[in-house]
Amino acid sequence: MDGSPSAAGPAGPGSPDHEDGSRRGPAHGVLSGLSLRVRYLVRRAEHAPPPPGPFRPGFWRSPLRGPWLTSVFGLVLLIGIPLMFVTGMLSYASYNPDLGRLNDQTPGKGVLGFYLFAWPTHPYWLYRLTQGVHVTLGVVLVPVLLAKLWSVIPKLFTWPPARSLAHALERLSLLLLVGGVIFEFVTGIVNIQLFYVFPGSFYTLHFYGAWVFIAAFVVHVCLKVGRMVGALRSRSLMAELRTPLARTRPEPPDPDGLVPADPAPPTMTRRGVLAMVGGGSLLLLLVTAGQSIGGLLRNTALLAPHNREPGSGPNGFQINKTAASVGVTPAHVGPDWRLEIHGAGPAHVFTRAQLLAMPQHTASLPIACVEGWSTTDQLWSGLRLADLAALAGLPDAGSVLVESVQPPGPYASVLLRGNQIRDPRSLLALRVNGADLSLDHGFPARIIVPANPGVNNTKWVRRLTFRSWP
Partner 1 sequence: MSRFVRWYGSSPLHLLVLIASFALTGYAMVRLFALRPLGVVLWFVGAAVVHDLILLPLYSLVDRSAQAVLRHRAPRMPCPPWINHLRVPAFLSGVLLLVWFPLVFALSRPYPEATGLPIDVYLGRWLALTAVLFLASAVAFAVRLRRLRHTDGAGEGRPAPGHGAGP
Q: What whole-number distance in Å separates Cα of residue 395 and Cα of residue 388? A: 8
Residue with Cβ nearer partner 1 (199 or 334): 199
Question: Closest approach of Cβ 241 to partner 1, in Å?
Answer: 10
Sheet holding 413-417, edge to edge: 348-350, 339-342, 461-467, 399-404, 413-417
Residue with Cβ nearer partner 1 (164 or 419): 164
| Strand-pair category, 378-384 with 427-432 | antiparallel
Question: Closest approach of Cβ 243 to partner 1, in Å?
Answer: 8
| Strand-pair category, 339-342 with 348-350 | antiparallel
| H helix or E strand, kind and range, residue 28 | helix 26-47
Question: Closest approach of Cβ 256 to partner 1, in Å?
Answer: 15
Judge residue 20's burial from the number of C-beta atoms within 10 Å of its C-beta, 0-12 exposed, 13-18 middle, 19 or more buried. exposed
Residue with Cβ nearer partner 1 (284 or 392): 284
Q: What whole-number distance in Å separates Cα of residue 74 and Cα of residue 67? A: 10
Report yes or no: 127 and 449 within 8 Å, Cβ to Cβ: no
Residue 298 in 3-state DSSP? helix
Question: Closest approach of Cβ 197 to partner 1, in Å?
Answer: 8
Q: Write a three-state SS string for 85-136.
A: HHHHHHHHHHCCHHHCHHHCCCCCCHHHHCCCCCCCCCCCCHHHHHHHHHHH
Residue with Cβ nearer partner 1 (181 or 388): 181
DSSP 279: H
The beta-carbon contacts of 56-61 under 8 Å, at least 24 apart in sequence, are: 56/159, 57/1, 57/2, 57/154, 57/257, 57/260, 57/261, 57/262, 58/260, 58/261, 58/262, 59/154, 59/157, 60/153, 60/154, 60/260, 61/260, 61/262, 61/263, 61/264
Question: Closest approach of Cβ 404 to partner 1, in Å?
Answer: 16
Residue with Cβ nearer partner 1 (157 or 337): 157
Residue with Cβ nearer partner 1 (269 or 399): 269
Judge residue 458's burial from the number of C-beta atoms within 10 Å of its C-beta, 0-12 exposed, 13-18 middle, 19 or more buried. buried
Question: Closest approach of Cβ 422 to partner 1, in Å?
Answer: 32
Burial 420-435 (b: 16+ CB within 10 A, else e): bbbbebbbbbbbbbee
Question: Closest approach of Cβ 384 to partner 1, in Å?
Answer: 29
Task: Count CB neighbours of 30 within 10 A.
Answer: 11
How far is CA 16 from each of CA 12, 19, 38, rounded to the nearest angstrom? 9, 10, 17
CA 457 to chain centre: 21
Question: Closest approach of Cβ 182 to partner 1, in Å?
Answer: 4
Question: Closest approach of Cβ 29 to partner 1, in Å?
Answer: 12
Report yes or no: 458 and 411 within 8 Å, Cβ to Cβ: yes
Residue with Cβ nearer partner 1 (216 or 451): 216
Question: Closest approach of Cβ 94 to partner 1, in Å?
Answer: 20
Residue with Cβ nearer partner 1 (325 or 364): 325
Residue with Cβ nearer partner 1 (170 or 256): 170
Q: What whole-number distance in Å separates Cα of residue 363 and Cα of residue 459? A: 17
Q: How many residues can be counted in the chain? A: 470
Residue with Cβ nearer partner 1 (20 or 336): 20
Question: Closest approach of Cβ 133 to partner 1, in Å?
Answer: 17
Residue with Cβ nearer partner 1 (304 or 415): 304
Residue with Cβ nearer partner 1 (115 or 211): 211
Sign of CA dihedral 292, 293, 295, 301: negative
Question: Closest approach of Cβ 7 to partner 1, in Å?
Answer: 4
Q: What whole-number distance in Å separates Cα of residue 363 and Cα of residue 382? A: 9
